[in-house]
Amino acid sequence: MSVTNNDATVKDGLWETIKVVIQALLLAVVVRTFLFQPFSIPSGSMMHTLLIGDYLFVSKYSYGYSKYSFPYGLAPIDGRIWGSAPRAGDVVVFKLPADHSTDYIKRVIGLPGDKIQMKQGVLYINGQPVKREYTGDFVDHDSFGNEVRAQIWRETLPNGVTYDTLDRGVTDGDNTREFDVPPGHYFMMGDNRDNSADSRIDGSGVGYVPFDHLVGKAQVIFFSMDQDAKPWMFWKWPTSVRWDRMFTLLD
């Protein structure tokens, strides 16, 4: 007559569950650190390419790895390993040079050695105006529900990368001094040109962004909701989810 040890069975089952949980956590850490990390968009500085409430995946491997690729910058990496330089026009997440901890997302406009300047709202790279074309108006609403309009200008960089920018009128960022991007650094700008703290703006903490501060390249929007909703509010999904933005690839 056989006897079943229920206590041993329970312990074995509990241990198997713990092992599965540990393995899942380790896999998540590996994927987040070396492959893809999710980010959400909390501000409108990249409108209308990225909207408040967009959730996107950033590829960590696109530019190689630095200590800022790892949680809390704990990895003992000096500089960058397996590095690959970004191209002008890439949308990237980087650590704010002013505090080394805050994540910002902007578009790469200036490469090392480039000269960047804004003149009357027009972007100049190395003394030449960037091609831009008016394509219509973008309509938004502020936190009070008031309608806000902006002109949409499609820019084309010298390397052929095109994207839309927003122009809400004359602001301080429309006219700047000439910036000379130093070696190993990049010049970042938001697509929402009149509402972006970026490399043009003194005191923004951005300045010239060192190569080792790049976290990764924005690749795809995998989820998007109205800015006044939260993902866990599933009962609001039918009306608050921006279904047309799901799985939008970012050039």
Q: Is residue 154 part of a domain?
A: yes
Domain that holds residue 68: 6-249
Q: Could you tell me the pTM of the whole model?
A: 0.84
119 part of a folded domain: yes
Residue 67 pLDDT: 86
Question: Does 232 fall in a domain?
Answer: yes
Q: How many domains does the chain have?
A: 1
For residue 73, the tally of other CB atoms under 10 A from its CB is: 14
- Please state, as a whole number, how many other Cβ atoms lie within 10 Å of the Cβ of residue 31: 12
Domain membership flag for residue 1: no
142 found inside a domain:
yes
pLDDT tens-place values along the chain, 251 residues long: 444 555 666 566 666 677 666 766 665 565 566 667 899 999 989 998 999 999 999 999 899 888 888 776 666 777 788 878 999 999 999 999 988 889 999 999 999 999 999 999 999 999 999 999 999 999 877 667 778 889 999 999 999 999 999 998 888 899 999 999 999 999 999 999 999 999 999 888 899 999 999 999 999 999 999 877 777 787 888 888 999 999 999 97
Instruction: List the catalytic residues.
Output: 45, 106
Q: What is the CATH number of the domain that holds 203?
A: 2.10.109.10
